[in-house]
Structures are given as C-alpha cells and as structure tokens.
Amino acid sequence: MKKAVSPRPKTAKKKLQHPDIREVLLTPEKIAAKVKALAAQINKDYAGKEVILVCVLKGALVFLADFMRQLTIPCVVDFVDWSSYGASTSSSGVFRILRDLEESVESRHVLIVEDIIDTGLTTHYLIKHLSGRNPASVKVVAIFDKPSRRKIEAKADYCGYEVPDEFVVGYGLDYDQKYRNLPFLGVLKPEIYAGRDTPPDKP
C-alpha cells in the first residue's frame, strides 16, 4: 500500500529573503498587524468624521494601500510629491512641489500618510504647508519612524514601528527606486551602495 503523503502544513512560511538584504527587520505579518492596529485606532478617533488621506509619494503608497482598506470611516485619497532642493538646503526646509493636492483641504480632517519619518523635514514642512490651507485638523500616520535621525521637530500622531538607524528598504522604501516591492522591511547590504561618492542619506 502506498504511504499517504502528508500535505505541507498550512502554517509553513515562505522564507523571507533577498540576495541584497542583510537582515529582515519586520516581517509582512508584523507589519500587517500594526497596520490593522493603527487603522482600528483611527476608526475610533475619527468616528463620524470624514478624512482626507494625503499620501506622500512614492514611498507611502504601499502602506496607504493596506491601511486604507482597514478604514471603516469615510475617506478620500489624494497625493503629494515633494522634493528637497538638495542636501545643503534641505535643512532649511526648501522643497519643490512636484505634485500638489487636487482636493481642497479647507475645513476637512487631513491625515498625512507616511512610510517613514527620518530627519522629520518632509513631515514638518508638509504639516506647515497644509495647515496654511485652513483644514479642520492635520494629523500624521507613519508606519515607520527613525527618531534617532531627527533634524527638526516632527512626530507621527499614529506611529507604527520605530526602526534603528540602518539603511532600510522594502514595504515602499527604496534604494535608487528599487526594493519598494519587498513585502518586508529589511536592511540593505552595505556593498550594494558601496562605491558611491557620498554615503546615502536616505531612510
């Protein structure tokens, strides 16, 4: 009689790896659990209100896609894309708006959706910029935070995971526009960005 082959256990996990990744910091499961918890808190805090989700391109789009599907409150989505004028001027908060909002934020509850807060410059100046347009409120939700790198005051009202000062990629975060599609947050191997004139100063 043929011996029955036992099926692969349903819990068997696909090994998380990529040749350019030194270490996986946060698995897709851990990220998903935090996204769910953040959305649950926001559903509670904004009950009876409509929010406008302002996604900061491009890194935040993966988080936005997961996060907004956990929201039960009414929401609309819009996008901004900012670029700093360069390392020397970015500390003074000089940004070029590559794409501005299509929606008006006047008298509306704005929730800025970020993948990561690093130096804090983007968040700080985006809050300032949007606050000048007379919204009902402006708050920030960020799935990752690197508080050790702050150059200016910036805080997520809803914060996912604090991450160490490592070159992290995945779940929307890139190096040279790559790795955004990795389903986990991982640390890039230093040899991938070695040989550049200056070390990368990116999240």
Catalytic residues: 118
Comparing CB distances to ligand PRP, the nearer of 123 and 185 is: 123
Number of residues that bind ligand PRP (CB under 6 A): 18
Is residue 160 within the footprint of ligand PRP (CB under 6 A)? no
Q: Give CA–CA dist 155/169, Å, rounded.
A: 21
Span between the terminal Cα atoms of the chain, in Å? 59
Is residue 118 within the footprint of ligand PRP (CB under 6 A)? yes
Q: Give CA–CA dist 26/31, Å, rounded.
A: 6
Min CB(106)–ligand PRP separation in Å:
24
Comparing CB distances to ligand PRP, the nearer of 50 and 81 is: 81
- Please give the radius of gyration of the chain, using alpha carbons only, rounded to the nearest integer: 19
Is residue 119 within the footprint of ligand PRP (CB under 6 A)? yes
Question: Which residues from 78-117 bind ligand PRP, rule CB under 6 A?
Answer: 114-117
Alpha helix stretches (DSSP H) within the chain: 28-45, 61-68, 87-90, 121-131, 190-193
Q: What are phi and psi of 145, to 5 degrees?
A: -145, 135
Residues near ligand PRP, by CB under 6 A: 56-60, 114-123, 174, 202-203
